Amino acid sequence: MKVRLRTIKQAGLLRRLAAGFYDLLLLASVLFLATALALPITHGKAVEPGNTLFNLYLLTVSFGYYGYFWCHGGQTLGLRAWKVKVIGIDGQPVGRHQAFIRFIIGTVSFLAFGLGFVWSLYDKNGLTWHDRASKTLVVRI
């Protein structure tokens, strides 16, 4: 993947992590709402731990949060607060397919103790696993 980074100011790891933490707080509130919306289906009872269908529902809601914002303006609320934006490596807005790949690989990066994020410190272009896989960049604005 060829990336012209001379003219683009990429967001550093700390800024990205700060925006990500902010988004996790916001996502938690979205997931609380999603869970509340599911209560009529469960007749007000708690969902059994490990319920695959419910976990997929929450994962879909999570992708909806990130995917919508990445595809519509390139900024989640956390990214906006930290003045960064997700764009394609060609400078174009992120497409749905790119957003999906970014979300899945980003989730894997996070679950792998953040190794996909730390990777950016050693990558010659400063890209994370999910940046590389989705052909996207996080840039300062």
Q: How confident is the model at residue 8 (pLDDT cuts 50, 70, 90)?
A: confident
Give the integer Cα–Cα distance in Å for 86 and 133: 14
The dihedral over CA atoms of 126, 73, 64, 81, expressed in degrees to the nearest 10, equals: 70
Which residue in 12, 23, 11 sits closest to 107, CA to CA? 23
Q: How many domains is the chain built from?
A: 1
The torsion of the CA quartet 13, 14, 16, 22, rounded to 10 degrees, works out to 160
Reference 30, options 60, 56, 75, 70; nearest CA is 60
Is residue 66 a part of any domain in this protein? yes
* Residue range 38-62, pLDDT digits in tens: 999 988 888 889 999 999 999 999 9
Confirm whether 5 is domain-assigned: no
**What is the model's pLDDT at position 5?**
53
- Predicted confidence band at 90 (pLDDT cuts at 50, 70, 90)? very high
Residue ranges making up the domain that contains 79 = 13-140
